Amino acid sequence: MSLKRYTIAGLFVLGSSVPALSAAADVEAGKARAAVCAACHGKDGIAQIPGYPNLAGQNEQYLVSALNAYKNKQRSGGQATIMQSQATGLSDEEIANLAAFYASLPAGGSN
């Protein structure tokens, strides 16, 4: 099998292991759920604490994948312990809603 076929097969396997985004993700529900996130990531998804990531304008699928990785304890380092405890209580729908909310925000914040 050629390298190209391995690459395509690998992408297919990887893609099938990432949860699909729900077409019905609710930005407003995500905004309401994000209140607890604001303590570290800022009200508008722009972190005020050095070393904490901005979430505003982030890729929606990336946020879903990251939250699921924390939820499944597949991410470590940094503030992983805090994020694991936050993500553990989130349903797939809540994760999709949070991701949709943060992806909908302007990356530079709302000045």
pLDDT band of 61, cuts 50, 70, 90? very high
The CATH class that applies to domain 26-104 reads mainly alpha
Please list the alpha-helical segments (H only) found in the chain.
Answer: 3-17, 27-33, 38-41, 60-71, 80-88, 92-104
In tens, the pLDDT along 94-103 reads 999 999 999 9
Q: 93: which 2 tokens?
A: 């729908």
Positive/negative CA dihedral, 72, 76, 80, 81: positive
In tens, the pLDDT along 72-90 reads 999 988 889 999 999 999 9
pLDDT band of 68, cuts 50, 70, 90? very high
- Cα angle value 21/40/17 (rounded, 5°): 25
pLDDT of residue 9: 44
- The whole model's pTM is what? 0.77
Residue in 106, 108, 96, 111 with CA at minimum distance from that of residue 27: 96
